[in-house]
Amino acid sequence: MLKEFKTLIPMVKKYKYYYLMGLLSLILVDAGELYIPRLMKRVIDYISTKGFSLRFVGETVIIIMTIALGVAIARFGWRFFIVGAARRIERDLRSKLFSHLLTLSSSFFGRTKTGDLMARATNDMRAVRMATGIAVVAFIDATFLTVAILFIIFSEYPKLAAISVIPLPVITILVLSAGKFIRRYFKAVQEGFSRLTENVQETLSGIRVIKSFAREDYFQKKFFKTNEEYKNSNMRLVRLWGFFFPLINFISGISIMLLFTFGGIAVIEQSITPGDFVALISYLTMLTWPLMGMGFTVNILQRGSASLSRINEILNQEAEIKSTEFPKENNITGDITIKNMDFSYSGSDKGAGEDKTLESIDLIIPKGTTLGILGRTGSGKSTFIRLLPRLIDPPSGTVFIGNTDIREFKLSELRSSIGFVPQDTFLFSSTIKENIKFGKPDAEDSKIMEMADLSTISKDLNDFPGGWETEVGERGITLSGGQKQRIAISRAMIMDPSILILDDAFSSVDTATEEKILKGFLKVRKGKTNILVSHRVSTLFHTDNIIVIDKGRIIQKGTHKELYKTEGFYREIAILQEAEA
């Protein structure tokens, strides 16, 4: 269990003075509470021997009230310092998790559900906060009070103490034996919450598709089933904990019963005073909380350990794609050269007879030219262009910019030099203006407008209720597909990258608008390297060179005129599209 908490050691050291001040405050609270039974003993013995004295009782009450005030201030102190440290650790750990997520490769997010990540960043973080806050308080409080009370009662009332504490070790045994079950059950609860979050996130993300197919009933039943499983996981934990606490109270009650029996006899026999008897009852009652606190501590620590193990699973993930240890400082410019590249998503070369996503790719894209790519769906076009900014990693020694293998560049600089408009356009839930200048936050309004004019999105501004400042909604849900694509084109263009890739970026734009965008695009991008992937021959007509990819291989190369005159896939598609037009 404790090995999971190694992650938190640097953070605990960072806030050690908070914990020290909290520890001091907590000891002052316990010291004040331990002294009050001695004052009660003093008052009861005085009254039983000398009779009632308003002055004596009044002075004692004032002392108790003063102690109570000090205890209240110290109680605020441990809450401020220890719980405050736990809150800060939670913040730092969440920041560490988020920062780490940003370093991970896209393949990680392909196999990990968003809802699960959200559950780890929220519900699991809450459990870790409890383990670094309230659990620390419960442990220190229970340890100090247990040691202090046992010392007091055994030094002053050894026989009665020995009899009264006989049942209490059973509580410790119960706490230790229940711990492993609590951890297992709580981990099941957290995983159930992850599944519930995943279900809700996926449903809300696909709500328009769900409504289009009238499948609300199906998703409602699916949610009910997941919600029921989450409830059942919680109930297993509740049943265990619900049995655990009453049992501890019952065992503690046996101790009190023994004290009443043998302590009452001792008072009658005058071997102890009535004040001693009351003080001993107070101490034994106080001892019940530390023993329960131990169970409380184990419960919270087991929960925190289960949650921290889920967080550590993410923190222990390493990015599959990262910069080399000593990246080259060369300017990322020059011809793009691809040498005999084979690529498969398995991450290793496949044997003979097995299909590869890309095979035997040899290509040179001269600096300052525009390359067009045509191919059937699933032919490997998108894989090919995602290799250039290392969104997926090409084999070493196969892809070069200038004379430098792209794996030798610093990853952030490589990607900053390559503008990319993917097929699945993603916009942030911000304004149109903020989305356009996302790649260049300091861009001036005149530059933003120039890029908006270039993509023709500017002509739609009057249709938006807030103009530039219109919120586009989550993933740009309030916009049409064509509007989202044109904003994405403006976003990539405003960076003025040395290499710009458009992956079927005009698929939702009509041909007239596409023609207008391309004319401006080629004028602005003259002298810079561009790659246009499209299913439309009308788009590729404007490029300097074209390649046709089929089943992961380049099957044709040439200009539009050359390929149009040659029998093959390109000519077939061109003739078909001309007929449709």
Alpha-carbon torsion angle 402, 491, 538, 378, nearest 10: 70
Question: How does pLDDT run across 403-458, given as a tens digit for each residue?
Answer: 899 999 988 888 888 988 888 888 888 888 888 888 788 888 888 888 888 888 88
- Burial 552-580, CB ≥16 within 10 A → b, else e: bebebebebeebbeeeebbeebbeeeeee
State the pLDDT at residue 350: 41
Taking each helix axis as running N to C, give the angle between helix 481-493 and helix 445-455, from 0 to 180 degrees, rounded to the nearest 10. Answer: 130
- Distance CA(544)–CA(366), nearest Å, equals 10
Contacts of 417 (CB under 8 A, 6+ apart): 332, 333, 497, 498, 499
Sign of the C-alpha dihedral, residues 6, 190, 127, 93?
positive
- pLDDT tens-place values along the chain, 581 residues long: 567 888 898 999 999 999 999 999 999 999 998 888 888 888 887 787 777 777 777 888 898 899 999 999 999 999 999 999 999 999 999 999 999 988 888 778 878 887 788 888 888 898 899 889 988 888 888 888 888 888 888 888 888 878 877 777 777 677 667 666 776 777 788 788 888 888 887 787 777 677 767 778 888 888 888 888 888 888 888 887 777 777 777 777 787 788 778 877 887 877 778 888 888 888 877 877 776 677 677 778 888 888 898 899 899 988 888 888 788 877 788 899 999 999 988 654 444 344 678 998 999 999 999 999 999 888 888 889 999 999 888 998 999 998 899 999 988 888 888 988 888 888 888 888 888 888 788 888 888 888 888 888 888 877 788 788 888 877 777 788 888 888 888 888 898 889 999 988 888 888 888 888 888 888 888 889 999 998 888 888 889 999 999 988 999 999 999 998 889 898 998 888 888 76
- Distance CA(214)–CA(208), nearest Å, equals 10
Question: How does pLDDT run across 157-214, given as a tens digit for each residue?
Answer: 888 878 877 777 777 677 667 666 776 777 788 788 888 888 887 787 777 677 767 7
Token reading at 137: 């308080």
Domains of the chain: 2-315 (1.20.1560.10)
- Distance CA(205)–CA(199), nearest Å, equals 10
pTM attached to this predicted model? 0.75
Where do runs of H (alpha helix) occur along 269-316? 274-315
Asked whether 119 and 193 are in contact (CB, 8 A), the reply is yes
> Which residue pairs from 554-560 have beta carbons closer than 8 angstroms and sit at least 24 positions apart in sequence?
554/361, 554/362, 554/363, 560/372
- Distance CA(431)–CA(467), nearest Å, equals 9
State the pLDDT at residue 355: 61
Give the Cα-Cα-Cα angle 8, 148, 146 (nearest 5 degrees). Answer: 60
- Distance CA(150)–CA(165), nearest Å, equals 9
Token reading at 393: 């990693």
State the pLDDT at residue 346: 67
Q: Which strands make up the sheet holding 418-421, listed edge to edge?
A: 418-421, 499-503, 529-533, 370-375, 545-550, 553-558
Question: How does pLDDT run across 90-106, given as a tens digit for each residue?
Answer: 999 999 999 998 888 87
Token reading at 269: 């026999």
